Amino acid sequence: MPFLKDIARVADGLSLVAKEAIYRQRRSDGGNNLQSLIKNTLLSATDLTGLTKGKVRKLDKEIDADSAVRSDSNRESVVYFTDEKPSTSSSSEPQIECHLEVNEVSAAEIRDNVEPPVQATGTTYEGDAQIDSISSESKAAEVVVPATPQMKSQRKLRERKVPTTSFSRALGFAGLGAGLAWGTLQESAKRLVFGAPNVQGNQSAVSPYLSEKNAERLALALCRMRGAALKLGQMLSIQDESVVPAPILAALDIVRQGADVMPRSQLNQVLSSELGHDWSSKLKSFDYEPMAAASIGQVHRAFTKDGMEVAMKIQYPGVADSIESDIENVKLLLSYTNLLPEKLFLDNAMKVAKEELSRECDYELEAKSQKRFGVLLSGTKGFYVPVVIDDLSSKRVLTSELVPGIPIDKVTLLDQETRNYVGKKLLELTLMELFVFRFMQTDPNWSNFLYDESEKVINLIDFGAARDYPKRFVDDYLRMVFACANNDREAIIKLSQRLGFLTGEESEIMMETHVQAGFVVGLPFSKPGGYDFRANNITQSISNLGATMLRHRLTPPPEEAYSLHRKLSGAFLACIKLGAVVPCREILLEVYEKYEFGEHDSERLASGSE
Ligand SMILES: Nc1ncnc2c1ncn2[C@@H]1O[C@H](COP(=O)(O)OP(=O)(O)OP(=O)(O)O)[C@@H](O)[C@H]1O
């Protein structure tokens, strides 16, 4: 009785709204607020379900959707500050002396000529359907996330306040839940009358919950909510269609086109409370048009008093305090949709996500990691970490030297030699982080690597997800990578048990699938000479095996694996995207030969010796 189930879902969604209303009523000091409460509740709910409100931003620069070229003729968003009149007002608005000076064109602006003006960030992983399409060099740049026709058009970015209180956020999720349920009911009714769409293998055809409209609802709500839910969505997007349904992946693509943008008043409030009311006195100019609207914060270009061009990452208010509840709300939504496979061990993934997100919201920690990476990589050719500007940074604002460069997906437009070089550097960096520093930036989002062609340098940004790995884990992990590279079945099983990927009680099919997955991952490292990432569809094979493992595994992966595998698969996907030819085995051997295994287990596995 799917129809009854849908009605139950609507009821669930509405009961979430009602629950919030009752909760709010209990907290309020009487019945006076009831009327406005009901009004606000309904407004918030319908606002999020309809998602038609909000001020559409008048961008200074228009996107040319095809060429992604932006016109820089109008820079009204840049505000200039003078020495004479530092802002001392108690209001959050900075003192504005004059507008509209014309900046010199900087390297970063040149870079922006190949980027949309407000760049959404997010984990730019591709599902297998897209990886499939990379079969030749010429196709390397054409990979796109599948989007429904409705979604393909560029979404107009909206200027909308971030819901900051836990109440308004919970209400947002409740509204979304009700909206999704209502959408499901509508879709079910449509199907009753017109019949279900007959698209083979398309999950949206199977479940009315996954209609295109609902996916769009979900995406736009995430864009408004921002924060943990959005980040979680990005994390989920690493999964392919066998795990996360295609319409949801397509919805996440909308999200990547740009989260909503904070209105100026909210932005000024954050800047004042974080850097003091005189924040503008430390700057020559500040561009209110964000360079990027990310999940946790938005990034603005500015010039310091001494003329350094900087990127200021400003956190959306409230997101740090609502991680826990946001994730619980997402979990509720997911479980009531009943869409994700049980063996995803969602609870574990959510727990890890909570920890990662709280770290990512702490920009002081990120600044520390950024500085640490700066030191670690200072002697390594080909990489640069921008300097942190301490007196313009705090727990919720992070200011760094602005660095030029194009993100990895744009490097695909450059020649083969350059793509090989960038692919090689990315793989070197990944192995160095894990096996040399034991400290890794675990967010492989392509726009976190900005390639500066003139210097042949990859500028590294975004260290929010940087973390240490214990020596013992890294020791065994290196042994396992080596076992995979050498097709050593026994060692793979032994190490997988030691690392906690297997319990030893698994079925034959699970064991075999696990070993096969190890062989596939080890393939690029298995033979000397350049490995051509265009030649084999690693991710397709892994995904097929992964689907089997999801059905048969007995234990969730060790905690370290979530971030590590995200990063490692990101490095592979980047090489695939680049269509690069990379001497992977040589890179691994160099690391392996210099590696000093810990005392706890000095045994080198037989497969480890060359
Ligand atoms: N120092 C910098 N120089 C140049 N561009 C920068 C710099 N810092 C940030 N950006 C731009 O802002 C975008 C977002 O920055 P960043 O990745 O640090 O934010 P985030 O909130 O961590 O994003 P995410 O949603 O990926 O976690 C980057 O992709 C890049 O385009």
Question: Over the stretch 177-233, which tens digit does the pLDDT of each residue have?
Answer: 777 777 777 766 766 666 665 544 444 445 666 677 777 777 777 777 777 777 776
Model confidence pTM above 0.90: no
DSSP state of 437: I
**Picking from 209-213, 242-246, 494-498, 516-520, which range would have the lowest pLDDT averaged per residue?**
242-246
3-state helix, strand, coil in the chain (%, to 5): 55, 10, 35
**Picking from 66-70, 215-219, 336-340, 553-557, which range would have the lowest pLDDT averaged per residue?**
66-70
**Picking from 283-287, 290-294, 602-606, which range would have the lowest pLDDT averaged per residue?**
602-606
Instruction: 541-547: list long-range contacts, CB under 8 Å, 24+ apart.
Output: 542/517, 542/569, 543/128, 543/240, 543/242, 544/242, 545/513, 545/516, 545/517, 545/520, 546/240, 546/242, 546/243, 546/517, 547/242, 547/243
Give me the count of residues in the chain. Answer: 610
**Picking from 16-30, 412-426, 546-560, which range would have the lowest pLDDT averaged per residue?**
16-30
- What is the ipTM, given to two decimal places? 0.97
Distance from C-alpha of 355 to C-alpha of 494, rounded to nearest angstrom? 29
**Picking from 236-250, 464-478, 512-526, which range would have the lowest pLDDT averaged per residue?**
236-250
Active-site positions read 443
Centre of ligand 1 to C-alpha 295, Å, is 10
Ligand 1 proximity of 400 Cβ (cutoff 6 Å): yes
Cα-based torsion angle of the residue sequence 416, 418, 422, 428 in order, rounded to the nearest 10 degrees: 90
Does residue 407 have a pLDDT over 50?
A: yes
Which residue's CA is the nearest one to ligand 1's atom 13? 292
Centre of ligand 1 to C-alpha 139, Å, is 27
Ligand 1 proximity of 447 Cβ (cutoff 6 Å): yes
Ligand 1 proximity of 402 Cβ (cutoff 6 Å): yes
Ligand 1 proximity of 483 Cβ (cutoff 6 Å): no
Centre of ligand 1 to C-alpha 462, Å, is 6
Which residue's CA is the nearest one to ligand 1's atom 29? 447
Distance from C-alpha of 319 to C-alpha of 463, rounded to nearest angstrom? 18
Secondary structure class of 558 (helix, strand, coil): coil
Does residue 294 have a pLDDT over 90?
A: no
Residue 50: predicted pLDDT: 28
Distance from C-alpha of 572 to C-alpha of 565, rounded to nearest angstrom? 10
Residue 284: predicted pLDDT: 95
Strands 531-532 and 581-582: antiparallel
Residue 195: predicted pLDDT: 66
Mean pLDDT of 498-511: 86
Q: Which residues contact 301 (CB under 8 A, 6 or more apart)?
A: 108, 286, 287, 291, 309, 310, 311, 312, 402
Q: Name the burial class of residue 529, with classes exposed (0-12), middle (13-18) and buried (19+) by CB atoms within 10 angstroms of its CB.
A: exposed
Ligand 1 proximity of 448 Cβ (cutoff 6 Å): yes
Ligand 1 proximity of 293 Cβ (cutoff 6 Å): no
Centre of ligand 1 to C-alpha 439, Å, is 20
Mean pLDDT of 78-97: 53
Report the mean per-residue pLDDT for the chain.
Answer: 72
Secondary structure class of 298 (helix, strand, coil): strand
Does residue 88 have a pLDDT over 70?
A: no
Mean pLDDT of 546-554: 69
